[in-house]
Structure 1
Amino acid sequence: MIRQTLKIILSSSLLIAISFVLLYIVSSLYSPQADHVPLLNDKRVISDDVKAYRPTITQVAKEYGIGDYTDLIMAIVMQESKGKAVDVMQASESLGKPRNSIATPEKSIRAGIQYFKRALNRSDNDPSLALQSYNFGLGFADYVKAHGGKFSPQLAHHYADQKARELQWSSYGDPDYVAHVMRYYNNEKQKRALAKNTE
């Protein structure tokens, strides 16, 4: 009788524990914090398609003196195309050309890194401001300097609204571009750290 009771208690405890684990996994996948659970969200880390461009990105970034930004540039590629477009950095417009008119991924990476370097220079090496300027255009850095000099998501949204009105467009760029790029950057960093800890 006691054994049977213990069996029932252990079975119930095990069932409850499994339920909690499943509940945690499901809630992690669908919660606002899901971006910070890298191993449960493989689509929110750097894809194999983008990783294939690491040697080229590393080499070109070093040429332009921004080798330390290689991982961040890979996160830009992830946000721009996930490595699936020929113009992997969506850099055609930075050259004054129509979208997707760059003919090879290598040319896209060179043009994108060159433009990101210009954005960094214009932003006094503030990565957040440089990222948003990569998306909006270099004029955004001047806008921020004229409005307190410090990047904020609020300024990005104000600028996007202002430009959309000026151009009579329904929207302008991605005012949450910094958060979108950093999601990939931070999750990849966490994934690597977790992998290192389990070695």
Structure 2
Amino acid sequence: MKKIITVVCSLLALIGFSYLILFVISSMYSPQADHVPFLNDNRVISQDVEKYRPIFQKYAEANGMGNDTDLLMAIAMQESKGKLPDIMQSSESRGLPKNTIRSPEKSIEAGARYFSKTLKKSKGNIAIALQSYNFGAGFSNYVARHGGRFSPELAQQFSRLKARELGWKTYGDSNYVSHVMRYYNNEKLKQKLAKKQN
């Protein structure tokens, strides 16, 4: 009887351990894995973006957003992950073709200025400002005409409307807010955990 109990316990332990390994692996690769922080380093601000922190801080302060440095960096993560010279993909905000800006600092300067404008136009609503960064400032007007409150459904409606108007298959990223905020929230959590460890 003891032998059977030992075998059963061993099997249960093996099954439990296998389940844990499968959970970790699936969490790393699942697009819905935002509830499991830091298993995938791609969900926090990368070193490619982090190295520009002083420049992000400089232009955040220059545009009256000194507390929003991490938010600007989260935008850069969503836009390029720091892999392109136009780190914030801000060429289009200046009426230029995509990736015309060839300097990370000029991209950060233009991106911070544009985000500051979308923030003012949205009366400080971060979600509307972020989605406007992706869709263009006209999104704020669309929200104002449709109840004045941001929702993912409203972003999807605007995306479909603009795609039809322009004859494109898709327009922008209607999940842009959640994508940026994933980086932002995970970065804040990482900083908080780092403070506790020090």
Distance 2:154 2:48 in 1: 33
Q: TM-score, with normalisation over the residues of structure 1?
A: 0.90
Please, which moves more after superposition, 181-190 or 76-85?
181-190
Aligned residue type for 2:27:
S
1:1-199 paired onto structure 2 within 5 Å: 8=7, 11-12=10-11, 14-31=13-30, 33-199=32-198
Instruction: Tell me the amino acid that sits aligned with residue 114 of structure 2.
Output: Y
Which structure 1 segments of 5+ residues have no match?
none
Q: Secondary structure of 1:40's match? A: coil
**Once the 2 structures are TM-superposed, how far is the Cα of residue 97 of structure 1 from its aligned partner?**
0.9
For residue 44 of structure 1, what is the amino acid of its counterpart? R
Structure 1 position 29, deviation (Å): 2.9
Residue 38 of structure 2 aligns to a residue in which SS?
Answer: helix
Q: Structure 1: how far apart are the matches of 2:187 and 2:146?
A: 33
Separation of aligned partners in 2, 1:79 and 1:108 = 14
How far does residue 41 in structure 1 lie from its aligned partner after superposition?
A: 1.2
Identity of matched residues, %: 56
Distance 2:30 2:110 in 1: 37
Deviations 1:10-60 (A, max 9, x none): 644543442232133134234554122122111111111010111100111
Cα 1:65–1:49 shift into 2, 3 Å: same
Q: By how many angstroms is 1:107 displaced?
A: 0.4
Where in structure 2 are there 5+ consecutive unaligned residues?
Answer: none
With over 3 angstroms needed to count, the CA separation of the structure-2 counterparts of 1:24 and 1:103, relative to structure 1, is closer
Report Cα offsets for 1:33-91 as digits up to 9, x if no partner: 41221221111111110101111001110111101111111100000000010100000
Distance in 1 (CA, whole Å) between partners of 2:18 and 2:26 is: 12
How large is the Cα RMSD of the aligned pairs?
2.1
State the alpha-carbon separation in 2 of the partners of residues 95 and 40 from structure 1: 37
